[in-house]
Structure 1
Amino acid sequence: MINILDKTFVPFISKEEIETRITELAASISRDYKDSCPVFLVVLNGAFLFASELVKRIPLSCEITFIRVSSYSKTESTGEVKEIIGIDKNLANRDIIIIEDIVDTGLTMSQLISKVWEKSPKSVEVATLLHKPESLKTPIELRYTGFKIGNKFVVGYGLDYDEIGRNLDSIYALE
């Protein structure tokens, strides 16, 4: 168990499980984009660890860029997406893979996908470490999913509770 601020978290997904799954996702992406030079659009802050480990395992020519959005306050989604750092790269006629830490309600990702399509890409796909299908409020297609989880609040491996816990090498669930 670990304590972060006023909450207690218990082990949920181990470092080894995460690393194995990231290797599998990287292999799938590498096969699917073997004839392309994809652009990885990393959603900050949460996806930085997942993105780093994922792209290190992809032996393709690629580009990496970042966007920062916020839709959480403490342990709850606000339902409102606030863009902090926008897309500043030309994405026209490019294969885009959005890398996200977690998709729960789908609202943030849905809005982000729409924003990316405004840039006239060739394709847009999503790679997420975690997905909470029970929490979806809008339908969303996720091509690359690390783990499907229940409606739990989790920290670690980039995910935070009030900005704390991102540096944990495993994922912990709220007790």
Structure 2
Amino acid sequence: MHGSSHADPGSTPDGVATPLTTLVTSDDATPAGEGWDPGAVHGYPGELSAMLIPAQALQAKIGELARAVAADHTLESPPLLICVLKGAVIFVTDFARAMPIPSELEFMAVTSYGSATSSSGVVRILKDLDRDITGRRVVIVEDIIDSGLTLSWLVKNLATRGPAAIDVVALLRKPEAVKVDVDVRYVGFDIPTEFVVGYGLDYAERYRDLPFVGLLGEHMYR
């Protein structure tokens, strides 16, 4: 995995900036084969073509992201983590536990209409927040950013509710797929535009339970 500096850098004790975002390419994936099947032990034999980001790397990165978000927190009230259902559930629970300061959790579910390639797609809220966010620092917790269209709409919607600040933390981002510019302050990994599953990411509601991010075999969706 290669260092990259797409997100705001953190800093080391000696004051040297360190990139928060790690660039992961297809070359970093560990392909299945020679008796090794990354999905088999979790009940998905023969379905994944490779492991892209191991569980240990995910947890280490989540710790980095949590410390960075906490270091930037200046309000007396704790940050309000808004999890976008369903994909970010696993990420947000590990993220909240890795935070060195208290945080509070809220959940939203949204769905987008129109074609995936259309920026005019309408977004509808399926589950809204349970509380007022006026004066709070809101941290939207996303599992993955691809087009950015729904996230862009969500940021604008929440901004109308009077929060003190809105930040976005995303575990994964597909830079080549982004269609709209969204200010994402904290990004864990920039990944290729391949079909990824695991750690909350699904295909037909399967694979969310994998502890790592893997590549789904083409034979499973084509």
Give distance in 1, aligned partners of 2:116 and 2:196.
Answer: 13
Give distance in 2, aligned partners of 1:8 and 1:155.
Answer: 9
CA 1:168–1:142 in 2, change beyond 3 Å: closer, same or farther? same
Which residues of structure 2 form unaligned runs of 5+? Answer: 1-36, 218-222
- 1:169 aligns to what? 211
The one-letter code matched in structure 1 to 2:58 is: I
Is 1:97 matched with 2:120? no
Which residues of structure 1 form unaligned runs of 5+? Answer: none
Percent identity over the alignment?
Answer: 34
The one-letter code matched in structure 1 to 2:86 is: N
- 1:124 aligns to what? 166
Give distance in 2, aligned partners of 1:108 and 1:85.
Answer: 14
Deviations 1:124-146 (A, max 9, x none): 01011100111011011111111
In proportion to residue count, which structure has more strand?
1
Deviations 1:19-58 (A, max 9, x none): 1100111111111115441111011100011100011011
Is 1:67 matched with 2:105? no
The one-letter code matched in structure 2 to 1:25 is: L
Instruction: Give, in angstroms, the shift of residue 109 of structure 1.
Output: 0.4
Instruction: Give, in angstroms, the shift of residue 156 of structure 1.
Output: 0.3
Q: What secondary structure is seen at the aligned counterpart in 1 of 2:130?
A: coil
CA 1:52–1:108 in 2, change beyond 3 Å: closer, same or farther? same
RMSD: 2.3
CA 1:9–1:112 in 2, change beyond 3 Å: closer, same or farther? farther
Give distance in 2, aligned partners of 1:8 and 1:15.
Answer: 15
Q: Which moved more, 1:130-139 or 1:58-67?
A: 58-67
- 2:21 aligns to what? none
- 2:61 aligns to what? 21
Give distance in 2, aligned partners of 1:57 and 1:34.
Answer: 18
Question: Per chain length, whose mean CA-contact separation is higher, i.e. which structure has more relative contact order (CA < 8 Å, sep 6+)?
Answer: 1
CA 1:164–1:78 in 2, change beyond 3 Å: closer, same or farther? farther
Give distance in 2, aligned partners of 1:77 and 1:153.
Answer: 15
TM-score (norm 2): 0.71
Return the index of the structure with the highest Cα Rg. Answer: 2
Matches within 5 A, 1:131-142: 131-142=173-184
TM-score (norm 1): 0.89
Is 1:158 matched with 2:206? no
